[in-house]
Amino acid sequence: MTLLTHSRFSARFDLTTPIALAPMALASGGALAAACARAGALGMVGGGYGDLAWTQREYTLALQAAETGRIGCGFITWKLDENASALDWVLDHAPEHRPRAVMLSFGDARRYAARIAASGAALICQIQRMEQAPQAVEAGATVIVAQGAEAGGHGMNALHGRATMTFVPELADWLAAHAPGTLLLAAGGIADGRTLAAAMVLGADGALVGSRLRATAESLAPQGAKELAVRTDGDGTARSAVFDILRRKNWPAPYDFRALRNPLHRAWEERIDALRSEPAAARDAYDAAVLAGDYTAAHVTVGEGVGLVRDLPTAAELIARMDQGARALLN
């Protein structure tokens, strides 16, 4: 019997492996969420910025394709503060079609906690620092995700972010003392059986996997971006505000964005204030690159775990590989 066999996360959500798909905006669509759910993981649709039409399409697809009850949805909390219509739509389904879990990241979840609880969905709160843990517990989180700064996409900047290796066991100890019923997922750099096993040994009940599942057949990430991830090692990423400025995403401090460094990023990464004051030319270059699929200027969202991405399998193949690898190490 192993840590994976006895995972509280798997037991709580009727999973066969303690893995959850990170609800990555514009990448974790219905096909990927459903594939993860069928493979025994928790499939989280990436509601992201709260685009109602996108969420309706992809969540509906996930429900139709999965038929497992292992489907959830995730949102950026501070964007819900502007418009919560996508969350409302998801929660207004008939009970059998409501999400198994709703994940909120980057903001105060307490405003939405009662509504989520009333729907029957479990609340998952993602945090980046110990000081955020009491607020997540107060919100009634069933699961807290400890996101390390290694993670791709948005997270805490270099001044505030924590490393997965130290953050997870510290939070595990705090939860054991203050909220022992709250489950813990590790996030940031979890990309194979070894890192999944490490997360469990550190005290997590499971892992939230983003970048590695982004590089799978069902992911909605552009094919060229996925192929580039296979050819890149972990040295190739950086965390900065560059791509948020180029994409006109007005994220609040202290959050920024990890992606692959490319020539456009390098041109501005040490001149952030200048980019903010005069972004027009750089934005034009970025916009043209996105249309052309030119990743010398367009962004590729991945974390430091990209160095462990060596192929583009199906989600089921990847989850089985991670699960089997972790079990072999933990037996």
Sorted by where each starts, the structural domains of the chain and their CATH numbers stand as 8-221+310-330 (3.20.20.70), 223-292 (no CATH)
State which H helix or E strand residue 124 sits in.
strand 122-127
Tokens encoding 138 = 């107060």
CA distance 167 to 190: 14
Mean pLDDT for the stretch of residues 124-150: 98
CA distance 296 to 92: 42
Rg for the chain, CA atoms, rounded: 18
Strand order in the sheet with 255-260: 153-156, 255-260, 237-240
Cβ atoms of 237 and 304 within 8 Å: the answer is yes
Looking at the chain, which runs of residues are DSSP E strands?
19-21, 43-48, 71-76, 101-105, 122-127, 143-147, 153-156, 183-187, 206-209, 237-240, 255-260
Residue 164's pLDDT is what? 98
Mean of the per-residue pLDDT values for the chain? 96
Q: How far is CA 130 from the centre of its chain?
A: 19
Residue 228's pLDDT is what? 97
Cβ atoms of 43 and 210 within 8 Å: the answer is no
Residue 4's pLDDT is what? 80
Residue 67 pLDDT > 80, yes or no? no
pTM, rounded to two decimals: 0.97
DSSP classification of residue 223: H
State which H helix or E strand residue 291 sits in.
helix 280-292
Cβ atoms of 121 and 74 within 8 Å: the answer is no
Residue 65's pLDDT is what? 87
